[in-house]
Amino acid sequence: MENPLNKKTSSRLEETLISTFPRICTDCGKLTNKQFFLTNPALQSTTLNSFIEKANTSYVMAKFAIEEFYKGEMYLIFAVKEAITIGSLLLALEDAIIRENVSKGVYDGDCTDAFKEFTNQVCGMFDSELRSKLPKPIHLKLISTVLINKENVNTILSEEVLNEEHLVLTVTMRILGFDDGLFMLSIPKLIGEEFFCEVIEENDKQFKGTILVVDDSNTDLRIVRKLLSSEYKIVVTDNPNNALSILQKNHVDLVLMDIYMPGVDGITLCERIKRNAISNAVPIIICSSSPTQENVIKAIRAGAIDFLAKPFTRQRLIQKIDKHVKNNNVLLPCQ
């Protein structure tokens, strides 16, 4: 397993997940009829492919669908021996029999069903806890539980999911009377960052620069972050009224903004940025799904350095941004 992230300060995501532990421990204790503890949390950034390939064991993975404002999946992961222990406890087996099942690796149909019920209950706990803690509406539901290892991982998860950067929160799980295990929660990094509009990064991570993306479409914000986040530090807002404040408080190398937004459109916002002494030197690219000649002329007159038509490919987007970010051949350490 890779080393935990060496962050200067803990992220709001990590703090929020840890704040759910008291509820999880209490309710899981009731489900298993055992004292249940979660301790020593550590957050790491990795891919699921790397995580599983480096493991010397098989896992049982519960997939949770993330719905309402946020979209995607998160994964609750246990080593098979922990899944056997938990499933057997829900079946009310005697401790000695559970230990024997663990030593033999007995994860049969009844145990599988019991463990699935356990993860469904945990999903409901996280759903209830996160609803009150996140700024936007969220709903979680269990999709499936599946045995996963090096041999079958490529048939269980798509190549895109396997190679996407994830934030894995690894926690020591203690169930009274049994050996310590691990309780692991994995969230795609882009979704985890979206919860609080934060950037979660390693201190030694290097980027070409920082891009502020302004768009009232959360779908488009997700697309841009996914296309750019491997090379650029991405800061996003769906409220154009927040853009100037972000520019005044953060170092930004380029602004990418939509032209049609409620309240303040891209042309007006561009003019405001260019009139501000702090932000007027920051290059601006305006984008639109209606790339008329009139829109292009208005954008350039307002101070935009370029215009980009939606939808765009990653290659086209990177080409445009690389062209206008200062010192675009120099990798910049995170600050």
Distance of alpha carbon 102 from the chain centroid: 33
The residues, ordered by sequence, that sit 6+ positions from 11 with a Cβ below 8 Å of its Cβ are 43, 196, 198, 200
Percent of the chain with pLDDT over 70: 93
* Measured torsion, CA atoms of residues 86, 91, 93, 95, in degrees rounded to the nearest 10: 20
Would residue 245 count as lying in a domain? Answer: yes
| Per-residue tokens: 308 | 């980009």
Specify the DSSP class assigned to residue 4: P
Residues 254 and 156 in one domain: no
| Per-residue tokens: 295 | 């829109």
Whether the predicted pLDDT of 174 surpasses 80: yes
Residues 173 and 266 in one domain: no
Whether the predicted pLDDT of 1 surpasses 50: no
Amino acid type, 112: T
Domain boundary among 135, 167, 195: 195
At residue 268, the 3 state secondary structure works out as helix
pLDDT tens for 248-276 read: 988 999 999 999 999 899 999 999 999 99
Would residue 2 count as lying in a domain? Answer: no
Assign residue 248 the CATH number of its domain.
3.40.50.2300
Would residue 5 count as lying in a domain? Answer: no
Would residue 4 count as lying in a domain? Answer: no
Residues 21 and 134 in one domain: yes
Residues 263 and 323 in one domain: yes
Residues 219 and 178 in one domain: no
Categorize the per-residue pLDDT at 187 as very low, low, confident or very high, splitting at 50, 70 and 90.
very high
Domain boundary among 195, 226, 250: 195
Residues 142 and 96 in one domain: yes
How many domains, in total, are found in the chain? Answer: 2
285 DSSP β-pair partners: 256, 306
Give me the mean pLDDT over the 164-179 stretch. 95
Per-residue pLDDT, 330:
41
Per-residue pLDDT, 331:
40
Task: Decide if 202 contacts 45 (C-beta within 8 A).
Answer: yes
Q: What is the mean pLDDT of the chain?
A: 90
Assign residue 89 the CATH number of its domain.
3.40.1550.10
Residues 165 and 240 in one domain: no
pTM: 0.78
Distance of alpha carbon 42 from the chain centroid: 16
pLDDT tens for 27-42 read: 999 999 999 999 999 9
pLDDT tens for 36-74 read: 999 999 999 899 999 998 888 999 999 999 999 999 999
User: What range does the domain containing 299 cover?
Assistant: 205-333
pLDDT tens for 298-324 read: 999 999 999 999 998 999 999 999 999
Residues 164 and 267 in one domain: no
Cα 25 from Cα 20, distance rounded (Å): 9
pLDDT tens for 68-95 read: 999 999 999 999 999 999 999 999 999 9
Would residue 200 count as lying in a domain? Answer: no
170 DSSP β-pair partners: 42, 184
Per-residue pLDDT, 199:
80
| Per-residue tokens: 58 | 């098989």
Residues 278 and 302 in one domain: yes
Residues 186 and 211 in one domain: no
Would residue 75 count as lying in a domain? Answer: yes
Domain boundary among 195, 218, 233: 195
Residues 329 and 215 in one domain: yes
Whether the predicted pLDDT of 10 surpasses 80: no
Would residue 23 count as lying in a domain? Answer: yes
Angle, helix 314-324 to helix 218-228, in steps of 10 degrees: 70
Cα 333 from Cα 330, distance rounded (Å): 10
Residues 292 and 273 in one domain: yes
Would residue 311 count as lying in a domain? Answer: yes
User: Which H or E run includes 332?
Assistant: strand 332-333
Whether the predicted pLDDT of 6 surpasses 90: no
Positive or negative, the CA dihedral 227, 229, 231, 233 is positive
pLDDT tens for 116-155 read: 999 999 999 999 999 999 999 999 999 999 999 999 999 9
Per-residue pLDDT, 222:
87
Whether the predicted pLDDT of 5 surpasses 50: no
